[in-house]
Amino acid sequence: MKGMRSVLVASAASGALLVLEAQTTFDAIVDGGRAAELVPIALSGYSGEVEAVLRFDLEVAGFVVVSPERASLTLTGKSGPQVEGTLQDKGRRTLFARAYPGGGPRLQAHALADDVVAAGVPGQKGIARTKVAFKLEPGRRGPKGDVISEIYVSDYDGANPFQLTEDATINRSPAWAPGLRTLFYTSYKPGRPCIFSHELTSGARSPVSSFNGMNDGAAISPDGTRMALVLSRSGSPDIWVGPASGTGLRQVTATREAESSPCWSPDGRTLCFASSEGGASRLMVVDASGGTPKALATGGIRGATEPDWSPDGRWIAFTRMGRGENFEIYRVPAGGGEAIALGPGEDPSWAPNSRTLAVVRRKGGGRKLSLLDAFTKQAKDLQTISGSCGQPSWAR
């Protein structure tokens, strides 16, 4: 495991937040009974890194920083040796007053932001202290001419990235084991695509699927005991399921076309995946124990791929493939229905709050990580180390 330099996130002025300061609130966006709106909040007493981190965290979580006279909530405090914060509502009622010692200013600011989210948006989880894994292409090629990609892990905002693999080959498709500091990913280090598990604390990694042909797209079940993956051991790439150890795998799909990108429903009973059966890629669902796959209705959207199921079970986000670099992120009810366009991007991964998506946006000939609000459709780009990023996976 190789440590990498810490990179500060941008402030609101340079972080590509798509909202004007002059607007204090947006009309509620209601989908299936759930309202999403920007909550106006005023900040006072913070400066430097702490202020920048608080702004970023709160804006990603659905707040907009405004002047005190236009705020529904007011957060006052100080940066100091320890971050402090007092949150009050419009009637000056104190919702909490806390200090956050230890862990450094960034971690203290993240903890304060999570508390503001919990108090200010009932039922929403704070995500400021979560992690994201992703692949990164540093712009080098391996001995066979392949574009090298390594697996990285960072804070959710792109800060404190560190390099997990040093294989000088293709590494891709990172996926977290829920609740554990363990990643599964595909590596070409053995000379063909094989799936490894990698324990972040110790650095130990082990092969879990190394059949001839393709081993890719590992997705770990919500309880951490099972794995869905793509294997070509029986011919074309199909979905297989078995214990997370890689033993006792059984085939779930059997088509001549390619399947890809399996993901689990939160209850662990159903898989959603992309299939090219019948022509253009589309989303399919199948019982994780086997059965006949069924098409997921997406309102006629063609080229649907890369699904990810929200932790609350209500939505599936996916990429709509277009011509050239025309990729868009959509979300659709998990039971199927009209798909809603959220903006340009690909490789969506839900945060634990079932509101925010980590996505990849193509900019300036490269790919950058971005955080996308699935309800207000606002996006905020991350500052990461140089290189082209892809395939984010949000730890849950």
Are 174 and 316 contained in the same domain?
Answer: yes
User: CA-to-CA distance for 331 and 343, rounded, in angstroms?
Assistant: 10
Tens digit of each residue's pLDDT (9 = 90 or more) over 306-347: 999 999 999 999 999 876 668 999 999 999 999 999 999 999
Domain assignment present for residue 293? The answer is yes
According to the model, what pLDDT value does residue 7 have?
30
Are 259 and 372 contained in the same domain?
Answer: yes
Question: What average pLDDT does this structure show over 229-239?
Answer: 94
Kindly report the CATH number assigned to the domain that includes residue 145: 2.120.10.30
Domain assignment present for residue 330? The answer is yes
Mean pLDDT is lowest, of 5-19, 224-238, 260-274, 353-367, for 5-19
Is the pLDDT reported for residue 9 higher than 50? no
318 C-beta neighbours (distance < 10 Å), count: 30
Domain boundary among 58, 90, 120: 120
Domain boundary among 100, 120, 140: 120
Domain assignment present for residue 191? The answer is yes
Are 176 and 293 contained in the same domain?
Answer: yes
Domain that holds residue 107: 29-120
Structure tokens at 280: 């253009």
Are 35 and 97 contained in the same domain?
Answer: yes
Is the pLDDT reported for residue 34 higher than 50? no
According to the model, what pLDDT value does residue 1 have?
35
| CA dihedral over 336, 341, 342, 346, signed as positive or negative | positive
Tens digit of each residue's pLDDT (9 = 90 or more) over 81-116: 999 999 999 999 999 999 999 899 999 999 999 999
* Count of structural domains within the chain: 2
According to the model, what pLDDT value does residue 17 have?
30
Are 145 and 114 contained in the same domain?
Answer: no
Kindly report the CATH number assigned to the domain that includes residue 99: 3.40.50.10070
* DSSP structure class, residue 146: P
Are 325 and 297 contained in the same domain?
Answer: yes
According to the model, what pLDDT value does residue 383 have?
77
According to the model, what pLDDT value does residue 277 have?
76
Q: Is this prediction's pTM over 0.95?
A: no
Are 232 and 111 contained in the same domain?
Answer: no
User: CA-to-CA distance for 222 and 227, rounded, in angstroms?
Assistant: 10
Domain assignment present for residue 13? The answer is no
Structure tokens at 275: 């299939």
Model confidence band, residue 384 (pLDDT cutoffs 50, 70, 90): low
Are 144 and 210 contained in the same domain?
Answer: yes
For helices 48-60 and 104-120, the axis angle rounded to 10 degrees is 40
Domain assignment present for residue 5? The answer is no
User: CA-to-CA distance for 342 and 363, rounded, in angstroms?
Assistant: 17
Is the pLDDT reported for residue 36 higher than 80? no
* DSSP structure class, residue 68: G
Query: Cα torsion at 137, 379, 122, 45 (round to 10°)?
Result: 90
User: Chain-wide mean pLDDT for the chain?
Assistant: 89
Q: Which helix (H) or strand (E) holds 342?
A: strand 340-344
